C-alpha cells in the first residue's frame, strides 16, 4: 500500500487553512496547518511533507524565507505559493527559487486547484513534460540551472493572464522566450504578434501601435488598424519597450489598465483583450530613476519579470547550441552536417559572446559556409572570434609573466578606453623615435603619407569592428562609437573613396 501523501498548509487566514484541509482530506490526503512562520517551523520538525502550501505574507515571516527553510530541511517537499495579485512578482521569484507553482486568491477553479495539488506529488513527471514541450516547440533551454529555473517560471506564468516583462542582453532570445510563453498559454490557438518599438519614429510608432483615422495626418489616405487591434484576444510582444516616447508611454499605460485606446486622430474608444509581453535590453528600473521611463508604466509591465542570463554565464550550454545550430543550418542550406575541430571548439567555448545566442548562431552559420572539409577548423571561424581569442591569450600570458617587457604593447582588452589607447600610442611613439637613425636618411614626406594611410586604415577597421558587433546596424554602431550615424557614414564613404 502506498504511503498517504502529507500536506502542510501555512496561512494566517484560518478560512484558507480550513478550505485546503477539507479539500485534501476529501481526496484521502493527510493535512496539517500553521498560521505563522514559527508554527510552520515546528510542523517541519514533527512531520515529513510531500507538498507545502505557503502564503507569501505572514504576521511573523516572509513566504520566501519559509520556502528556503523547507528546501533546506526537506528538499523533496514541493512548495506551492499562495498569493494575491499584488504579490505575483514575488511568486514568480519564488518559482525561480524552487517553488513548484503558485495560486492566486480568491480560489475560483477548484478542478484546476485539485489538478495542481496532484501534479505536485509527481514533480518529476511535470519536469519531463516541460522538456517534451520545449523539444516539440524547438525551444532549446540547455543545462544551466539559471535557465532551467527561469523557463520553469515562464511556463507557470504562461497560463496566467498577466503581463510579462522579459529583460536580457541583446541576442539572448527574448522573442524566442516570448513565443514559447504564448505557445504554452491559453491563447496558443490565437496569433503571436511581434513588434519592435525601436524601429519607428515617435509619430509612426503611435500610428503603428494604435492605428489612425483617415486624414489624421498627411498621407493618412484611409483608416488603419494598429497592432493592438490586430492582436485582439491574442499575444502581443513589444520589444525595445524603453524606446517608446513619453506620449506613447501614456497610451500604453491606459491600454494596460483599461484595455482601451483611441486611434490617432480618432474620437471613439477601441476596446481590446491583449496579453502583453514586453522586452528590453535596458535596465528599466535605472531608466525610471533617471526619469527616462514612466514609473507607473514600469510597475504595470513588471507584474511578472523574467531575466534571461547571458551566454557567458552559461558556458555549459555552448556545445548544446553549437550542435543544434549545426543541424538546423545544415538542413536549411541542404549541406552535409559537419563538426568543429577540438581547437575550434576551445576558442568557441572561451569566447565571451557579447551578441549572445544570436552571435553564436551567426558564427556557426558563417563557419559552416566557409569551411571546405567535413571539419570546421580555427581558420574557418570569423575574424572577430579569432581576434578575441588572440587578445585573451596575450592577456593570460602577461598575467603569468607578472610584468611587461619593453617590447610588449599593453593589451587594451575588449573594452579599450581612450586612456589605454593613449598609452599604446605613447609606447609606439617612444619605440619608434628610439629606432630612427636620421643620419642614415629619413623621408619625411613618405612618413606623413604612411601615417595618414595608417590612421585612415585604423579608423576604417574600428568602424568595421563596431558594425560587425552590431550585425551591420549603423545606428547602433554609431552609438557604440559615441558618434552620430551621419558621421559614421561620412567616414565609411571617405574610406571607400580612398580605395
Q: Are 27 and 111 within one domain? A: yes
pLDDT band at 460; cut points 50, 70, 90? confident
Q: Are 187 and 276 within one domain? A: yes
Q: Inform me whether the pLDDT recorded for 428 exceeds 80.
A: no
Find the distance separating the first CA and the last CA of the chain, reported in whole Å: 84
- CA 64, 75, 119, 184 torsion: positive or negative? positive
Q: Are 150 and 296 within one domain? A: yes
pLDDT of residue 55: 95
Question: What average pLDDT does this structure show over 163-167?
Answer: 95
Q: Inform me whether the pLDDT recorded for 253 exceeds 60.
A: yes
Question: What average pLDDT does this structure show over 437-445?
Answer: 76
CATH number of the domain enclosing 268: 3.40.50.300
Q: Which of 63-67, 98-102, 287-291, 466-470 has the weakest average pLDDT?
A: 466-470
Percent of the chain with pLDDT over 70: 87
CATH number of the domain enclosing 336: 1.10.8.60
Q: Are 40 and 87 within one domain? A: yes
Whether 427 maps to a domain, the answer reads: no
Percent of the chain with pLDDT over 90: 52
- pTM value > 0.75: no
Q: Which of 59-63, 77-81, 136-140, 147-151 has the weakest average pLDDT?
A: 136-140
- At what angle are helices 88-96 and 63-73 packed, to 10 degrees? 20
The number of residues in the chain equals 499
Residue that terminates a domain, selected from 352, 367, 389: 389
Question: What average pLDDT does this structure show over 444-449?
Answer: 80
Total number of domains in the chain: 4
Question: What average pLDDT does this structure show over 227-243?
Answer: 96
Range of the domain at 17: 6-123
pLDDT band at 466; cut points 50, 70, 90? confident
Whole-angstrom Cα distance, residue 472 to residue 491? 15
Residue that terminates a domain, selected from 360, 389, 418: 389
CATH number of the domain enclosing 65: 3.40.50.2300
Question: What average pLDDT does this structure show over 137-159?
Answer: 83
Q: Given 3-state DSSP classes, what are the helix, strand and coil percentages for the chain, each rounded to the nearest 5?
A: 55, 15, 30
Whether 405 maps to a domain, the answer reads: no
Asked whether the beta carbons of 323 and 361 are under 8 A apart, the reply is no
Asked whether the beta carbons of 318 and 363 are under 8 A apart, the reply is no
pLDDT of residue 409: 45
Q: Which residue is listed with cell 552609438?
A: 479
pLDDT of residue 1: 39
Sheet holding 78-83, edge to edge: 30-34, 6-10, 51-55, 78-83, 101-104
Q: Inform me whether the pLDDT recorded for 9 exceeds 90.
A: yes
Q: Are 285 and 142 within one domain? A: yes
Q: Inform me whether the pLDDT recorded for 153 exceeds 70.
A: yes
Q: Inform me whether the pLDDT recorded for 419 exceeds 60.
A: no
Closest CA to 69 of 40, 33, 30, 48: 40
Residue that terminates a domain, selected from 287, 307, 327: 307
CATH number of the domain enclosing 487: 1.10.10
Q: Are 116 and 165 within one domain? A: no
Whether 422 maps to a domain, the answer reads: no
DSSP state of 78: E
Q: Are 236 and 375 within one domain? A: no
- Strands 235-239 and 260-262 come out as unpaired
Whole-angstrom Cα distance, residue 351 to residue 319? 12
Asked whether the beta carbons of 59 and 13 are under 8 A apart, the reply is no
pLDDT of residue 407: 45
Whether 385 maps to a domain, the answer reads: yes
Amino acid at each position: 500500500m502506498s504511503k498517504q501523501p502529507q500536506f502542510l498548509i501555512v496561512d494566517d487566514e484560518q478560512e484558507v487553512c480550513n478550505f485546503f484541509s477539507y479539500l485534501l482530506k476529501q481526496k484521502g490526503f493527510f493535512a496539517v496547518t500553521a498560521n505563522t512562520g514559527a508554527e510552520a517551523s515546528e510542523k517541519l520538525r514533527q512531520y515529513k511533507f510531500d507538498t507545502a502550501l505557503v502564503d507569501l505574507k505572514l504576521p511573523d515571516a516572509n513566504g520566501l524565507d519559509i520556502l528556503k527553510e523547507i528546501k533546506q530541511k526537506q528538499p523533496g517537499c514541493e512548495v506551492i505559493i499562495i498569493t494575491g495579485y499584488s504579490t505575483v512578482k514575488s511568486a514568480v521569484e519564488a518559482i525561480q527559487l524552487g517553488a513548484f507553482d503558485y495560486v492566486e486568491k480568491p480560489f475560483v477553479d477548484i478542478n484546476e486547484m485539485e489538478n495542481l495539488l496532484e501534479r505536485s506529488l509527481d514533480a518529476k513527471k511535470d519536469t519531463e513534460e516541460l522538456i517534451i514541450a520545449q523539444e516539440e516547440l524547438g525551444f532549446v533551454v540547455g543545462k544551466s540551472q539559471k535557465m532551467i529555473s527561469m523557463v520553469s517560471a515562464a511556463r507557470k506564468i504562461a497560463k496566467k493572464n498577466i503581463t510579462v516583462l522579459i529583460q536580457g542582453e541583446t541576442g539572448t532570445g527574448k522573442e524566442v522566450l516570448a513565443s514559447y510563453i504564448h505557445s504554452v498559454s491559453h491563447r496558443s490557438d490565437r496569433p503571436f504578434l511581434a513588434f519592435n518599438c525601436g524601429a519607428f519614429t515617435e509619430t509612426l510608432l503611435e500610428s503603428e501601435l494604435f492605428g489612425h483615422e483617415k486624414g489624421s495626418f498627411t498621407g493618412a489616405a484611409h483608416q488603419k488598424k494598429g497592432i493592438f487591434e490586430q492582436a485582439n484576444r491574442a499575444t502581443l510582444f513589444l520589444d525595445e519597450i524603453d524606446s517608446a516616447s513619453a506620449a506613447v508611454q501614456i497610451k500604453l499605460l491606459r491600454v494596460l489598465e483599461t484595455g482601451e485606446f483611441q486611434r490617432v486622430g480618432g474620437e471613439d474608444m477601441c476596446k481590446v483583450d491583449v496579453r502583453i509581453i514586453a522586452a528590453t535590453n535596458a535596465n528599466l528600473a535605472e531608466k525610471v530613476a533617471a526619469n527616462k521611463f514612466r514609473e507607473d508604466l514600469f510597475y504595470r509591465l513588471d507584474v511578472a519579470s523574467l531575466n534571461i542570463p547571458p551566454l557567458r554565464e552559461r558556458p555549459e550550454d555552448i556545445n548544446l547550441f553549437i550542435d543544434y545550430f549545426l543541424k538546423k543550418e545544415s538542413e536549411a542550406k541542404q549541406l552535409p552536417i559537419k563538426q568543429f575541430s577540438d581547437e575550434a571548439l576551445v576558442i568557441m567555448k572561451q569566447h565571451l559572446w557579447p551578441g549572445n545566442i544570436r552571435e553564436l548562431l551567426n558564427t556557426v552559420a558563417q563557419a559552416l559556409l566557409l569551411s571546405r572539409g567535413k571539419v570546421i577548423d580555427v581558420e574557418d571561424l570569423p575574424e572577430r572570434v579569432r581576434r578575441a581569442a588572440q587578445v585573451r591569450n596575450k592577456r593570460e600570458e602577461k598575467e603569468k609573466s607578472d610584468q611587461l617587457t619593453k617590447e610588449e604593447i599593453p593589451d587594451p582588452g575588449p573594452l579599450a578606453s581612450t586612456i589605454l589607447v593613449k598609452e599604446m600610442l605613447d609606447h609606439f611613439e617612444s619605440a619608434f623615435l628610439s629606432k630612427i637613425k636620421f643620419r642614415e636618411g629619413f623621408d619625411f614626406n613618405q612618413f606623413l603619407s604612411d601615417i595618414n594611410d595608417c590612421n585612415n586604415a585604423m579608423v576604417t577597421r574600428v568602424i568595421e569592428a563596431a558594425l560587425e558587433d552590431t550585425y551591420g546596424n549603423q545606428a547602433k554602431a554609431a552609438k557604440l562609437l559615441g558618434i552620430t550615424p551621419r558621421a559614421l557614414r561620412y567616414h565609411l564613404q571617405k574610406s571607400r573613396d580612398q580605395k
